Amino acid sequence: MKVSCVSCKEVVDVGNNLNLGDMVSCSKCDARLEVIWLAPLELDWPADEYDDYDENEEGYDDDF
């Protein structure tokens, strides 16, 4: 299966036996991506790599 990298848009060949939560790497930009959907195949940045803001941290604004 092939899918576009969310970072550089390069087509990434990820194989055929993927499961939700599997990690794949882009051969062009080395982005580490997580399989978040199978049909259609979708990749995104891993959830554990998001920068979470602390509500008690100065500058935190929850009014988006």
pLDDT(52) > 90:
no
- What is the sign, positive or negative, of the torsion defined by CA atoms of 42, 14, 20, 33? negative
Backbone angles phi, psi at 57, to 5 degrees: -75, 140
Predicted confidence at residue 48, as pLDDT, reads 73
Domain borders along the chain are 2-49
Contact residues for 58 (Cβ-Cβ < 8 A; gap 6+): none
- The reported pLDDT for the residue numbered 37 is 94
- Give strand pairing partners of 12: 3
Each residue's pLDDT tens digit, 3-36: 999 999 999 999 888 999 999 999 999 999 999 9
Q: What is the pLDDT of residue 25?
A: 94
Asked if 39 and 17 touch (Cβ cutoff 8 Å), the reply is no
pLDDT at 53: 52
Please state which CATH class domain 2-49 belongs to: mainly beta
List residues bridging with 48 in a β-sheet: none
pLDDT of the residue at 30: 94
